[in-house]
Structure 1
Amino acid sequence: MDLTLNEIVNAVNGELIINNNNAFNKVCIDTRKIEKDNIFWAIKGENFDGNKFVIEAFNKGASIAVIDNIFFDFNEIKDDVTVIKVYDTSKALLDLAKYYRKKLNLKVVGVTGSCGKTSTKDLIAAFLSEKYKVFKTKGNFNNNIGLPLMILELDSSYDVAVLEMGMSDLGEIDVLANTADPDIAVITNIGLSHIENLKSQDNILKAKMEITNYFDESNTLIINAEDDYLKKIKDKCFEVVKIGYNHEYDVCAFNIILEEEKTTFTVQDKYEKSTFTIPMPGKHNVLNSLLAIAVAKKLDLSMEEMEKGIRNLEATSMRLQIIKQEKITIINDCYNASPASMKSSLDVLNTYLNKRKVAILGTMNELGEKAVEAHKDIGNYASDKVDLLIAIGEYKNYLKEEFKGNNILTFETKEDFINVIKDIIKEDDVILVKASRGNKFESIVNSLEELSI
């Protein structure tokens, strides 16, 4: 971090209760990961209070602690450390990240949407990589704790930061947008994720649009105009760029060729056209790519530079990750699930020809009153996409109810399925594994990888 101790104290409106003007390197909120000269930031969670681990953090090498409550005896504190007290450590983390973002001379791209955020983030970073040094959000560090931690990992060597912004309710993206102050915002789609909290897709749209709350005429919003909710958005005090399959959009795609492990398409904007091949399957990734290309155009990249940049794609794990085993192919997409992403993943599975297509599907969480209807819809959608459907968990019978045919197996738990996995999976199968994060279906992926056929 390119910050001084005084800058940190002032940015968080803190009080130096112990000051040894220590050297420091980066922020850490987990004592299990503390390294020498880290700043230990004592966050209060639902099941823990970081303020109670200050002594442990110092013993493991932290040089500074930021706290909002004192649980230690001052006699226990080492002589060569610094302690900063603030009113609320979570808010202070956001305050510091906001200050630091403004200090750095870089462009920020904020990415949100009901699904596809992470793939779009990865694509944006790749397309930009030929011209710029790009930082992107790691994993799912996209909430009010994760996003500021990502900002605080930046330094002056970066040209662009691509930051993912997640939410589960109104007001949350507003906080993230206020902190990250994006120059360009991207919204992938408006689906059913988190409808349990937000009650309607209109409210989901309202929550996602909070990413533009601090925009003015210098900002740009890039949207997927194939989405029925987003296509209605018009220019406000900021520019709106639309992507999709219609030639009337600012950036459009046609001549799409879908293959098992890659996708080829032609891109046209107002000035030029080019053909891209991305090492990601699925038509939905054409739209994600168009969003990324629109970002790259705003940041003055040529199509040629983008074509070179996509070779640097580093996709986040457990999102349509193709795992080629000796005798089977696994499509690991078990990081998260929504109705839209379920359908996209089933479409990818359907591109595999002359092999038995197996879909292992679990629960889609946070759908509230829409849950039964949504799972029935996926069961119906899967009917002509798979040769065998394996439905696991709370909504398994609703998946089964609308599935056309008898080639479906249901299990109460993933452990029940894993116990008989060797009797079900056959040589040359292509197997999609997909469920919401809470299902932790990576254990199924692990079992498939270890399977001896």
Structure 2
Amino acid sequence: MEHMSFDEIVSAVHGEVLLKGKYSGFNTVSTDTRKIEKEDIFVALKGENFNGNEYIKTASEKGSAICIVDEILYKNEEIKKNTTIVKVRDTKQALLDLAEAYRTKLNLKFVAITGSAGKTSTKDLVAAALSGKYKVFKTAGNFNNQIGLPLMVFKLDNSYDIAVLEMGMNNFNEIHTMAKAARPDIALITNVGTAHIGNLGSRENILKAKMEITNFFNEKSILIINGDNDMLATVKDKQYSIIKSGIECEADFKAINTKLGENCVDFEVLEKNNSTKERFHLDMPGKHTILNAMLAVACGRIMNMNYEEIRQGLKKLQSTSMRMDIIEGNKFTIINDCYNANPDSMRAAIDVLKNYGGKRKIAVLGTMGELGEVAFASHKQIGEYAAQNNIDLLVTIGDYNKAYEEGFKAVDNEHFTVDRYKYKAFENYDGAVDFLAKEYLQKEDTILVKASRAAKFENIVEKLKKSNS
């Protein structure tokens, strides 16, 4: 980490020094005493089932240089002489404030990514593309919220050229607080769909929440958007630059001559005011992959990369696990997309299944979370979409089986019959796995498994994998 003085730290978090230890510098910032090491700063966060303020003695015993607290639940005699205690009004806010102050010590470019779907895939694509010329840091796993993002900032130093950070949200002001801490130079928005509409009420409000990523932009900042998305297409010129990419729209970076393979895509990039066509191949399936890759290409070009550097970077692509992981077994193929689910990503996954090889196409779908009043209608629409794309069998598990069934039946009523296995509903995944593995699946079938993270559909994948050897 880059150096911050003790006074800078206390000032950044608006803290009061309650107990002054023998401070000689710090190593990194931690919120977990299980992982804390000597000379770390420990920020005592509170959650529904835990209170970090209860672990100050442990943090001190492990060698914490500074403990930042918002409750006094320790005794002075429990604290080691090298530990300083700083009290703040709110430790969660202090974590963000400290990250914001640390950000000023960093001379690298910050690229921030948000969207209703495709954030993580786009993060992986952007980081890979930029790595063709630069040393790049990217958000690990799902550290994309108001706690995870500042922890990613603290992992940075000036040996990096670019940080690619993912920003998720459930409500207003969340991206705002992350943007305040990270101060992105470039922001990318993948799309605006219906994820979290239960909290925000409308797609217009979702757009407003996503656009918070630009709240700290200046005239040198750049926003890159997927112009094919109907909501993003409404974004007008601001005091900063707006760059559009896409397939259907008039764009600064347009994908043409697109080809969708079973587990890959091919396309050419046509840059505005340039007649040269640049061809790309990616070993990732789906039209959504092209849209996300176009954002990465645009970002690379803005960062003064030539197309060959971008191509070489994309060859290094390392994608985050459980997102469109294709597992080919001895009998059938599993498309594992269990990390998250909303209506946009569900449609994208069904598109991949449709284009994939194999004799029969099976979709195993579960609950999509945080959809509020539109939940039933949204699940019904995905049932319709599955039928429209000629899925041989739709298996659903969870609270919205009836909605999926109504949607599937509305499109494919002529052939709809539970007895003929066109559609099957289960209350839990044990029954679904038993049916699929023991009764239904045949050699060369392809099966998509997808639901919101809380459904833990990765358990289905693991069980299916065992029957596929």
Letter in 2 for 1:291: L
- SS class of match (1:58): helix
1:378-420: per-residue Cα shift (whole Å, max 9, x none)? Answer: 1111113421111110001211122123311100122332344
Residue in 1 aligned with 2:429? 414
Residue in 1 aligned with 2:11? 10
- The partner residue of 2:92 within 90, 107, 116 is 90
Contiguous gaps of at least 5 residues in structure 1: none
CA distance, structure 2, for counterparts of residue 35 and residue 385 of structure 1: 55
CA distance, structure 1, for counterparts of residue 259 and residue 81 of structure 2: 65
Deviates more, 1:337-346 or 1:442-451: 442-451
- The partner residue of 1:173 within 165, 172, 175 is 175
Deviation at 1:229? 0.9
- SS class of match (2:334): strand
Contiguous gaps of at least 5 residues in structure 2: none
Counting only pairs closer than 5 Å after superposition, residues 69-84 of structure 1 correspond to structure 2 as 69-84=71-86
- SS class of match (1:155): coil
Deviation at 1:421? 4.3
Kept in 2, the 8 Å contact 1:253–1:267? The answer is yes
CA distance, structure 2, for counterparts of residue 32 and residue 328 of structure 1: 41
- SS class of match (2:34): helix
- The partner residue of 1:227 within 221, 226, 229 is 229
Letter in 2 for 1:381: Y
CA distance, structure 2, for counterparts of residue 66 and residue 19 of structure 1: 13
Counting only pairs closer than 5 Å after superposition, residues 125-204 of structure 1 correspond to structure 2 as 125-204=127-206
Residue in 1 aligned with 2:50? 48
- The partner residue of 1:393 within 398, 401, 404 is 398
CA distance, structure 2, for counterparts of residue 33 and residue 411 of structure 1: 40
1:400-451: per-residue Cα shift (whole Å, max 9, x none)? Answer: 1221233111001223323444323333221111001111111111111222
* 2:311 is the alignment partner of 1:307: yes
- SS class of match (1:337): coil
CA distance, structure 2, for counterparts of residue 357 and residue 61 of structure 1: 56
- The partner residue of 2:104 within 91, 102, 126 is 102
Letter in 2 for 1:9: V
- SS class of match (1:32): coil
Structure 2 length normalisation: TM-score? 0.93
CA distance, structure 2, for counterparts of residue 136 and residue 351 of structure 1: 30
Deviation at 1:368? 1.1
- SS class of match (1:274): strand
Structure 1 length normalisation: TM-score? 0.96
Residues paired across the two proteins, number: 453
Residue in 2 aligned with 1:287? 291
* 2:253 is the alignment partner of 1:251: yes
Letter in 1 for 2:4: T
* 2:434 is the alignment partner of 1:429: no
CA distance, structure 1, for counterparts of residue 390 and residue 212 of structure 2: 37
* 2:252 is the alignment partner of 1:236: no
CA distance, structure 1, for counterparts of residue 355 and residue 231 of structure 2: 28
RMSD: 1.6
CA distance, structure 1, for counterparts of residue 279 and residue 130 of structure 2: 17
**Change beyond 3 A, Cα 1:375–1:153:** same
